Amino acid sequence: MVIVSIILIIIAIYLAAGFVFAVAFIVKGVTKIDEGAHGATWGFRLIIIPGTIVFWPFLLNKWIRASKTKEE
């Protein structure tokens, strides 16, 4: 029970961090990593929130790489 509790707490922290990231990502990040997001509707931005919360490290990595490429 203790192990399961610890795993659930870790998942909750991971998802909470994902939620914070998702807010910034749908406002700014999504257009940095995908040209298709330019001019995309807010409905689209809202619909990708759950996925962003789950896959946030992957998207953060893409965002950082896109920013570096732009700087170069």
What is the total residue count of the chain?
72
Tell whether residue 15 is a contact of other proteins (CB under 8 A).
Answer: no
- As measured in angstroms, the least distance from the Cβ of 48 to other proteins is 6
* Nearer to other proteins among residue 11 and residue 20 (C-beta): 11
C-alpha span between 37 and 21 (Å, rounded): 17
Q: For the purposes of burial, counting CB atoms within 10 Å of the CB of 35, is it exposed (0-12), middle (13-18) or buried (19 or more)?
A: exposed
Tell whether residue 70 is a contact of other proteins (CB under 8 A).
Answer: no
SS3 state at 38: coil
Which residues contact other proteins by CB under 8 A? 1, 4-5, 8, 33-41, 43-44, 46-48, 50-51, 54-55, 58-59, 62
